Amino acid sequence: MNFWVELLISVLLILGGVFVLVGSIGLIRLKDLYVRLHAPTKATTLGLGGILLGSMVYMSHQHGYLTIHELLITLFLVITAPVTAHILAKVAMHHEVPMMKRTRNAEHVSTARKQQAPGDTKDQD
Amino acid sequence: MSLFWIPVLLLIGVFVPLITERFGRTACAFFTMLAPALALTQIAGLLPEVLSGEVLTESLAWIPAVGLTLSMRLDGLGMMFSLLILGIGLLIILYARYYLSEKDAMGRFYAYLILFMTAMLSIVLSNNLLQLWMAWEVTSISSFLLISYWSSKTDSRKGARMALTVTGAGGLALLAGLLIIADIVGSYDLATVLASGDVIREHAMYPVALILVLLGAFTKSAQFPFHFWLPHAMAAPTPVSAYLHSATMVKAGIFLLARMYPVLSGTELWFLTVSLTGLATLLLGAYVALFKHDLKGLLAYSTISHLGLITLLLGMDTKLAAVAAVFHIMNHAIFKASLFMAAGIIDHESGSRDMRKLNGLWRYMPYTATLAMVAAASMAGVPLLNGFLSKEMFFAETLHQVALGSLSWMIPVLATLGGIFSVAYSLRFIHDVFFNGEPIDIPKTPHEPPRYMKIPIEILVTMCLLVGIFPSFMIGSLLQAASSTVLDGQLPEYSLSVWHGFNLPLLMSAIAMAGGLLVYAYRGRLYSFQAQFRETDAKLVFEGVIQAIVRQATAFHEWMANGSLQRYVALLLLLTLVMTASPLMELNSAAGHLPHQPVNGIEITAAILLCISALATVILHRQRMVALITLSVVGLIVSITFARFSAPDLALTQLAVEVVTVILLMLALFFLPQKTKNESSPRRVVRDLGIAAVCGGVIATINYAIITRPFDSISEFFLANSKTGGGGTNVVNVILVDFRGFDTLGEITVLGIAALGIFKLIARMRLAMPSADEKGRAWSEDRHPLILAMISQSLLPLALLVSVYIFLRGHNMPGGGFIAGLVTSVALIQQYIAHGVDWIKPRIKVDYQVLIASGVLIAALTGAGSWLFDKPFLTSWFDYFDIPWIGKIELASAILFDLGVYLTVVGATLLILANLGKLTTRHRPTVEE
């Protein structure tokens, strides 16, 4: 296999691996649910994307034509991860899962829970 | 005309009275008579052939592969019975026209009657044992309907139930007996059976078969000790009694004895059982008849007695006895039908059947009285009447008996005793009703009945006289044909003349006459003697027994099936354990000699994950949602396992099913408490753990034993023929739509039915909807988050495209209608979840029920399509075509079949899920609906 191709694949794999690792560490280390959500949705998705790209390059090189399976998988990951994160966050808000003390803009929580825009105060008492 | 037409004609006739009832009672009776009259002329047209000794048979192959044919047979015996059934049946129809009142539903009555007639005729014309049995059971059922015709009366219902229970139970015994006989002979064909009497009699199972068949015959013919149902069947309208207890129903048992006579008789067991039963019945019936104050009760017991007489004759060891039996079948049918009809007239015109009240009716209805007296005299066996002839033959035969050895002299003595009582109760019927003073306290002033009501009796009484005076001219040839059927062609010498000179039988008759007179004259003493016995009502005893059985069955059922699912599962598992453990114990070692496959880290990881999530499901089962998640992990790993071990179709299916199942369970669990308390006692936990662990161990052992042994299956055939025979390279799909297409058709039908059943359950279900979760938090207002709605909606075309792709490639690559259907369902359910029912309703206007129906229909029609090309059902077709731009493609008829599968799966899944989902929305059924 061409050295440059191998290099490209290796870089993609390592980058992906690092992001997945960071995501996993984040899942353990981060303090509350809201913050923790970032780790799997952002870092891990990115990392998986890297690994899949590496796989795509490898497969394309092996077969001699462009394979886009991995691209599709990446696409689906990118589409679904935000939806999942969004729903999880909404559930957490609804269930009033406690948040870290140093959460910024904590004053918006009650308006968000009522599903109003941040500036909208007509319903506030 | 074909013999098949006769029962078919009658079967059509069942509907005639129901249709013509609106044209008035006379018209209804007239039209009802058409079908039996037509059948009678058809049968009578065949008379010359049958009398010359021919046996007419016809058969129609039904399921030839298992030897089932519809087969008809008309021989002498069948001819005699057919004439009796149709002839007396016609008279009964005429009679019933005047007997039934304005209030009675005439159409229903006639319909039951013709149905019964059809069944009875099918018995006597049947040439196949199973067919005979089938018709036999139909007579039980239709007689039940006839006896319970006045269903508002408790007596009718109880009497009918008793008749059905006794004759129905006998019918089951008969079935068992006939099956044994068919097993010995190797055929259900009556002709074959009749020809192999020796084989049957010498077989070790002969006694069992004989007893079972006799049980059937004796219950039907009300032989002791099963006679008790017959008197209670008298709750039926009198035309029914006249028909059932003269020419039909009870004669079916006698017919069976006569039919099986060439096969089963000729052994000690037959003679002893049949003759002793007959003798006991004869004496018991004759004795009890004398004490019955009810007119029909007297006739009922006299019927029992005469049936006993015929049975006794069939059980005697001489050929002449069989001839006498056949003769008496005819004579009894004729005089007993007329007697019942006369009793009906008396009841109808005077309003009472109690012989203590009915007296001196001679003065009010002399004409009817004369007819009744002639018939009663025939029953008593007075010379110059038909009853006398057969009774003489009977007395003569009793003298030749040797079956009881040195005690054989008792038979003629007891027969004469029966004769004495027979004369006595006949005398009572005549003297008590028509003379003996004035009527006491009867509701109506008696008078002669309508003109046409007497015609049936006139005809029958004329027959009594004609047969009695000119026996050989009237029925000589028919008797000969019928008897030669019973005796298998070996007819003995006999003479049918009225006068045989002074001999012993004549003396016995004379003794019977004189004795009868004496007994009747001193009946007062007998009555007071009989009054010392406490009378038991068979109905009460019977109901008691039935209720005891029901109580036992209910108790057993409640013990067995107490509604606890855990208990059922435990019982099922224990049974499985018992069934599987014993063969496993005979296996020396679980491990076979096949080498193990290498394992790698991924497989071990998956296996560990599988175990952990399965255990977690059990441990966390009280927190239902959590348990559901761990359960879905199990499903996911299973589908990955399928993919790993080269079963992509299974993997895809498992994945889709897993998604649907999780949604289904989430919807269902929504209505259940989110957490449940621990309700199992420690003892029970230990027990259940034990059962589960042993079961798991056994199943694991079986699996291990199988996969470590070489296993030859049909797979090789499928692999070899998939491409050449089914035109597809995806063997799984070719098996589903081609090799085992019929199975699949059955499965999607079941799927459709199950979905409809669930829909029916859900459609009107009103469940308490929890307004908050287990911690008391109200549900979120935001039911359909925008981001989910948008993403699902934009992914829908892609998902549908994927399902079409999976569907189209299914024949050659992993996929097919089933998986595609599941994918489509999941895509659509996703829309329901993301948007809610309100959004979906105006957008998806497909009726899922229609979808299911059209799916099953398309699949079935595809299968039927092969008939157009003279191929068996579900033969598939495929060919290759060159289409410009696209290239060479393959078209197979199987894809149409697969389309049916696809539509059914989509319809069924969505019907269940969408409607279950609706229960959580405002579209749920409410009280107002």
Question: For the segment B475-516, what is each residue's pLDDT rounded down to a tens digit?
Answer: 888 888 889 888 887 888 888 877 777 888 888 899 999 999
E strand or H helix that includes residue B294:
none
pLDDT at A121 over 70: no
- Averaged pLDDT, B215-219: 95
Chain B residue closest in CA terms to A96: B777
Beta bridge partners of B72: B58, B126
Give me the pLDDT at residue B662, please. Answer: 92
Q: Which residues on chain B are in Cβ contact (under 8 Å) with A95? A: 777
> Given this model, what pLDDT does residue B729 score?
82
Quick check: B876 pLDDT over 80? no
Please give the backbone phi and psi of residue B381, each rounded to the nearest 5 degrees, phi first: 90, 40
Q: Summarize the confidence of residues A73-92 as an average pLDDT.
A: 88
Substitution target in B629, B783, B786, B791 with the highest count of A β-carbons within 10 Å is B791
Most B CBs within 10 Å: which of A76, A83, A95, A115, as the mutation test of the B interface? A83
Q: Do B788 and A79 touch (CB under 8 A)?
A: no
Q: Phi and psi at residue A118, in whole multiples of 5°?
A: -55, -40
Bridge pairing between strands B56-63 and B887-892: unpaired
Task: List CB contacts (< 8 A) between B782 and chain A.
Answer: 90, 115
B495, amino acid identity: S
Specify whether the backbone of B589 is left (phi greater than 0), alpha (psi in -120 to 50) or beta: beta
Comparing CB atoms, the residue among A86, A91, A94 nearest residue B787 is A86
pLDDT for B97: 92
Cβ neighbours of residue B638 under 8 Å, at least 6 residues apart?
A: B610, B654
Distance between CA B135 and CA A75 in Å, rounded? 71
- B402 three-class SS: coil
Residues of B in contact with A86 (CB under 8 A): 785, 787-788
Interface test with A, best of B674, B774, B777, B780 (most A CBs within 10 A): B780
Average pLDDT of chain B is 88
The pLDDT, as a whole number, for residue A95 is 84
- Of the two residues B925 and B863, the one the predictor is more confident about is B863
Confidence of residue A120 (pLDDT cuts 50, 70, 90): low
| Residues B208, B549: Cα–Cα separation, whole Å | 26
Of the given ranges (B484-493, B587-596, B818-827), which has the lowest mean pLDDT?
A: B587-596
| Burial tier of B924 (Cβ tally within 10 Å: 0-12, 13-18, 19+) | middle
Query: Which is higher by pLDDT, B679 or B356?
Result: B356
Residue B188 φ then ψ, to 5°: -95, -5
Which chain A residues are closer than 8 Å to B801 by Cβ? none
pLDDT at B334: 93
pLDDT above 70: residue A119: no
Which chain B residues are closer than 8 Å to A82 by Cβ?
787
| pLDDT score of A124 | 44
The confidence score (pLDDT) of residue A106 equals 79
AA letter at B40: L
Judged by a CB distance cut-off of 8 A, whether residue B776 touches chain A is no
Q: Is B672 exposed, middle or buried (0-12, 13-18, 19+ CB in 10 A)?
A: exposed
Dihedral angle of Cα B572, B574, B576, B577, to the nearest 10 degrees: 170
Which ipTM was obtained for this model?
Answer: 0.85
**Which residues, other chains included, contact B699 with Cβ-Cβ below 8 Å and sequence gap of 6+?**
none
Tokens 């008790």 found at: B228
Is residue B598 predicted with pLDDT exceeding 70?
yes
The string over B464-491, giving b where at least 16 C-beta atoms fall within 10 Å of a residue's C-beta and e elsewhere, is beebbeebeebbebbbbbbbbbbbeeeb
- C-beta atoms of A94 and B791 within 8 A: no
Residue B796: phi and psi, rounded to 5, are -55, -50
Chain B residues with CB under 8 Å of A91 CB are 780
| Confidence label for B929 from pLDDT (cuts 50, 70 and 90) | very low
- Chain B neighbors of A94, CB-CB under 8 A: 777, 780
- Minimum mean pLDDT among A119-123, B55-59, B878-882, B920-924: which range? A119-123
A:B CB pairs within 8 Å: 21
A91: closest chain B residue by CA: B780
Q: What is the mean pLDDT of residues B610-620?
A: 92
Question: Rounded CA gap, B509 and B382, in Å?
Answer: 9
String of b and e for B99-108 (b: at least 16 CB within 10 Å)?
bbeeeeebbe
> What is each CA distance from B20 to B27, B30, B36, B827, in whole angstroms?
7, 9, 16, 58
B782 lies within 8 A of chain A by CB: yes
In this complex, is the C-beta atom of B797 within 8 Å of any C-beta atom belonging to chain A? no
Query: In whole angstroms, what is the distance from residue B873 CA to residue B641 CA?
Result: 37
The pLDDT score that the predictor gives to residue B1 is 55
What's the pLDDT band for B926 if we cut at 50, 70, 90?
low
Helix, strand or coil, per DSSP, at residue B189: strand
Residue A80 has pLDDT above 50, yes or no: yes
- Residue type (1 letter), B190: L
Helix-helix angle B741-763:B848-865, to 10 degrees: 160
Residue B754 predicted with pLDDT over 90: yes
